Amino acid sequence: MALIETDELCKIYDLGGSSVRALSGVSITIERGEFVAIMGPSGSGKSTFMNVLGCLDQPTTGRYLLDSIDVGGLSGDELALIRNEKLGFVFQGFNLLSRTSALENVELPMLYGNVPASERKRRALRALQSMGLDGWEKHHPNQLSGGQQQRVAIARALVNDVPLILADEPTGNLDTKTSSEIMELLVKLNLEAAITVVLVTHEADIAAFSRRIIKFLDGSIVSDVVVKKT
């Protein structure tokens, strides 16, 4: 069974009289274990698509199955539960809670997943460790470098043992060297932990880390190419 299956997704924004078609009929299937890069100019609909994939937004029409669950028509709280159990986000701006230690940031998804406190700590420490952040767990985001912050964010994304990581320009705020470090971490997660990664990027060399590149233009997919086999 495919992890992500969309069928004729449409998203229409109503902007005071004039309606904007952000997505027009996007049908796509992403299997478990894939590493997909989504590319396209601004306004091509790739962010809207990511929001729908991330269960942050509902399509106007069309069907979206995530891990065989029909996301359409679910309530806000049901979507929150799916976000908690099925996917992790990695953002361009890291989006860590300030004045909160790395450890507590990583514990956050488990807090809302009702994991007992001792278990939370154990799993968060393990996730930070796997990101090479031993000894940094007590530091607050403003005491960490950009690369470290993004690694905390990745640890937070995967700590609930989710099958899918959605990364929205994860290297947009990082220099080239750190960018490739982060990308290598994602590749490693994809290969070793079989986590499906979908990432949005502008840059071709970042997209080159993926094995499948989907290009968007004006709310539709214009190309979908498998660039390398696993």
Partner 1 sequence: MINLPSTFKISLRALRVNKMRSALTMLGIIIGVSAVIIMLAVGAGASKKISEQISSMGSNLLMVFPGSTTAGGLRMGSGSQSTLTSSDAEAVKRECPTVEEVAPILNGSAQIVYGNQNWSTIVYGTTPPILYVRDWSLTAGRIFNDQEVKGASKVCLLGKTVVDNLFGDMDPLGKAIRIKKLPFTVIGVLAEKGQSLMGQDQDDTVYIPITTAQRKIFGREGSGITDTVRSILVKTKTTADLEPATGQITDLLRQRHRIGTNQEQDFTVRNLTQMMNVAEQSTQILTLLLAAIASVSMLVGGIGIMNIMLVSVTERTREIGIRMAVGAMSWDIRLQFIIEALTLSLIGGVTGIIIGFAAAKAVSTIAGWPTIVSPFSIFFAFGFSGLIGIFFGFYPAYKASLLNPIDALRYE
- Residue 227 binding partner 1, by CB under 8 A: no
Print burial letters for 83-94: b (CB count within 10 Å at least 16), e (below 16): bbebbbbbbbeb
Give the per-residue contact string, 145-164, with partner 1 (x = CB under 8 A; - = no): -----------x---x----
- Residue 89 binding partner 1, by CB under 8 A: yes
**C-alpha separations of 117 from 80, 93, 112, 120, 203 in Å:** 21, 28, 11, 5, 40
- Residue 141 binding partner 1, by CB under 8 A: no
Query: Which of 8, 31, 111, 194 touches partner 1 (CB under 8 A)?
Result: 111
SS3 of 4, please?
Answer: strand
How crowded is the C-beta side of 5, counted as CA atoms within 13 Å?
8
CB of residue 181 vs partner 1: minimum separation in angstroms? 23
The answer to whether 63 and 72 have CB atoms below 8 angstroms apart is: yes
Report residue 228 as tokens.
């390398």
Query: Which of 65, 108, 187, 217 touches partner 1 (CB under 8 A)?
Result: 108
CB-wise, 85 or 203, nearer to partner 1? 85
CA 148 to chain centre: 18
- Residue 113 binding partner 1, by CB under 8 A: yes
CB-wise, 42 or 230, nearer to partner 1? 42
CB-wise, 86 or 211, nearer to partner 1? 86
- Residue 80 binding partner 1, by CB under 8 A: yes
